């Protein structure tokens, strides 16, 4: 019943199920699996897609011949399993060259290298079928604002994205960009920290239609924000090109937990939102198993992400079909049409009509809002007693 199917568009990164459990305090706890082994692992758990950074697949120092062999082997694994590549991205954060950023580095040679590396990685992604290209600016930031002028940084960021959009257009690729905001980690302060910042930035680009966002649960939670509200902003702007699903408590380090595992109520509202609006992109799990897990448990982690999504999807349908919920929502949103004229926008006549209206302020302030009842029903649906 909660079996993942291709139409659910569940994807994982090579770096997610391939995460080896390294953290700032400890060495890896799991052996490395090859990209081919990871594709087979994803097929075994029932995923639809695999995403990768250029260097998850092709090591940064691979020769052209090695690259070609790796890509051949990877394509064979995709063909054998039916796994697709919906999204690709560039690693612009691991190598020491990016210690002070990539597109926003103070060094013009580093910025040029980042562009060249991204162009090559776009070619690789497109060759493997990607139609969404993610930009997570993990190193684009500062620890000390003495070191970088934020206006210069934004200008450099903008010029880089403009250049890359023009490249994609020039090649005739069917590829859209998705900017992934994050407030901090690994930098003290990362540029484009939230969904709202990214949306504002996109409006300043040369080809804003090509560029959307890739919001991540954990990143907005790290900033203490309501993720669903951020996703709604992106969706309303026509910019929800991709989404990174995981879980994260507020006020903690970058946890990347299994989807829905620590804030299931928030996950419920998110799944309900995506399903209600008919979001048609990938449901990408950018999470990883606990450091204590072995690969059997990594499979349990991956299955758990998808299963929880499907359970919450069922709960969302139950919420929508619940007669008491519907009745409460109808009460809350009651509208006899008296003020519909305001939706037509401003005019002198509208203004006159509005000015002439007398409001019973006291009565409006006394209106019944049974929100406790509604929220308790929500909780009981989630807890499985309704």
Residue 241 engages ligand GCO in binding (rule: CB under 6 A): no
Which residues lie below 8 Å from residue 210, measured CB to CB, with a gap of 6+?
165, 168, 169, 176, 177
134 binds, among Mn ion, ligand GCO, none (CB under 5 to 8 A by kind): ligand GCO
Rg (CA), the chain: 23
Residue nearest to ligand GCO (CB): 136
Minimum CB separation of residue 22 from ligand GCO in Å reads: 13
Cα distances (Å, whole numbers) of residue 98 to 29, 109, 110, 112, 249 = 26, 11, 7, 12, 29
Q: Which residues of 128-146 are buried (b: 16+ CB within 10 A; e: fewer)?
A: bebbbbbbbbbbbbbeeee
Separation of alpha carbons 136 and 224, rounded Å: 19
Count interface residues toward Mn ion (CB under 5 A). Answer: 3
Q: How far is the CB of 360 from ligand GCO (least distance, A)?
A: 51
Q: How far is the CB of 180 from ligand GCO (least distance, A)?
A: 5
User: Interhelix angle for 264-276 vs 227-236, to 10°?
Assistant: 10
User: At closest approach, how far in Å is the CB of 216 from ligand GCO?
Assistant: 5
Known catalytic membership, residue 53:
yes
Residue bearing tokens 């905001």: 181
Candidates 254, 275, 297, 314; binder of ligand GCO (CB under 6 A) is: 254
Residue of 8, 23, 40, 53 marked catalytic: 53
* Stretch touching ligand GCO by CB under 6 A, among 134-142, 165-173, 193-201, 378-386: 134-142
Q: Is 244 in the site for ligand GCO (CB under 6 A)?
A: yes
- The single residue among 77, 244, 266, 311 that binds Mn ion, judged by CB under 5 A, is 244
Q: Which among 54, 56, 244, 256 is annotated as catalytic?
A: 56
Contacts 24+ apart (CB under 8 A), 292-296: 292/21, 292/29, 293/21, 293/30, 294/30, 295/30, 295/33, 295/41
Q: Which is nearer to Mn ion, 271 or 325 (CB)?
A: 271
Please, what is the minimum distance in Å from the beta carbon of residue 89 to ligand GCO? 4
User: Measured between alpha carbons, how far is 271 from 316 in angstroms, rounded to an integer?
Assistant: 7
Binding string, residues 200-229; x marks residues near ligand GCO by CB under 6 A: ----------------x-------------
Residue 64 structure tokens: 């052209």
SS3 103: coil
Q: How far is the CB of 182 from Mn ion (least distance, A)?
A: 6
**Please, which of residues 275-304 interact with ligand GCO by CB under 6 A?**
286
Closest approach, Cβ 83 to ligand GCO, in A, equals 18
Sole binder of Mn ion in the list 100, 140, 220, 286 (CB under 5 A): 286
Piece in contact with ligand GCO (CB under 6 A), picked from 54-62, 131-139, 322-330, 371-379: 131-139
Which pair of structure tokens corresponds to residue 376? Answer: 């308790």
Tokens read off for 49: 């897609």
**Nearest C-alpha neighbor of 59 from the set 69, 51, 67:** 67
Q: Identify the residue among 136, 227, 241, 257 touching ligand GCO (CB under 6 A).
A: 136
Span 138-197, contacts to ligand GCO by CB under 6 A? 138, 180, 182
- E strand spans, 93-245: 132-136, 141-142, 176-180, 189-190, 211-213, 244-245
56 catalytic residue (yes or no): yes
- Rule CB under 5 A: is residue 220 a binding residue for Mn ion? no
CB half-sphere exposure, 114, CA atoms < 13 A: 33
State yes or no: cis peptide before 128, omega within 30 of 0: no
List the catalytic residues: 53, 56
Rule CB under 5 A: which residues touch Mn ion?
Answer: 216, 244, 286
Rule CB under 6 A: which residues touch ligand GCO?
Answer: 89, 134, 136, 138, 180, 182, 216, 244, 254, 286
């Amino acid at each position: 019943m909660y079996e993942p199917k291709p139409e659910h568009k569940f994807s994982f990164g090579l770096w997610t199920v391939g995460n080896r459990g390294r953290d700032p305090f400890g060495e890896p706890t799991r052996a490395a699996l090859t990209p081919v082994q990871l594709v087979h692992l994803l097929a075994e758990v029932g995923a639809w897609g695999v995403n990768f950074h250029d260097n998850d697949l092709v090591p940064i120092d691979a020769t052209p011949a090695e690259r070609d062999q790796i890509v051949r082997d990877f394509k064979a694994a995709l063909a054998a399993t039916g796994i697709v590549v919906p999204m690709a991205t560039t690693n612009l954060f691991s190598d020491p060259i990016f210690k002070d950023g990539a597109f926003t580095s103070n060094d013009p040679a580093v910025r040029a290298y980042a562009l060249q590396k991204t162009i090559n990685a776009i070619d690789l992604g497109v060759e493997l079928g990607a139609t969404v290209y993610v930009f997570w600016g993990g190193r684009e930031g500062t620890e000390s604002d003495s070191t970088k002028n934020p206006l210069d940084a934004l200008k450099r960021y903008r010029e880089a994205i403009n250049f890359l959009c023009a490249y994609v257009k020039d090649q005739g690729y069917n590829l859209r960009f998705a900017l992934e905001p994050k407030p901090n980690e690994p930098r003290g302060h990362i540029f484009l920290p939230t969904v709202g910042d990214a949306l504002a930035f996109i409006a300043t680009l040369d080809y804003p239609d090509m560029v959307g966002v890739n919001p991540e649960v954990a990143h907005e939670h790290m900033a203490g924000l309501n993720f669903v509200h951020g996703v709604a902003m992106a969706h309303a702007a026509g910019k929800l090109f991709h989404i990174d699903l995981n879980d994260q408590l507020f006020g903690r380090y970058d946890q990347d937990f299994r989807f829905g595992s620590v804030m299931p109520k928030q996950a419920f509202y998110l799944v309900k939102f995506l399903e209600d609006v008919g979001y048609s992109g990938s449901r990408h799990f950018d999470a990883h198993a606990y450091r204590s897990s072995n690969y059997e448990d990594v499979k349990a982690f991956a299955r758990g992400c998808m299963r929880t999504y499907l359970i919450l999807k069922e709960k969302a349908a139950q919420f929508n079909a619940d007669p008491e919920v519907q009745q409460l929502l109808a009460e809350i949103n009651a509208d006899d049409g008296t003020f519909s004229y305001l939706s037509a926008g401003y005019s002198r006549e509208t203004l006159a009509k509005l000015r002439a209206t007398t409001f019973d302020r006291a009565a409006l302030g006394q209106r019944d809002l049974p929100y406790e009842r509604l929220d308790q029903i929500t909780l009981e649906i989630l807890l499985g007693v309704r």
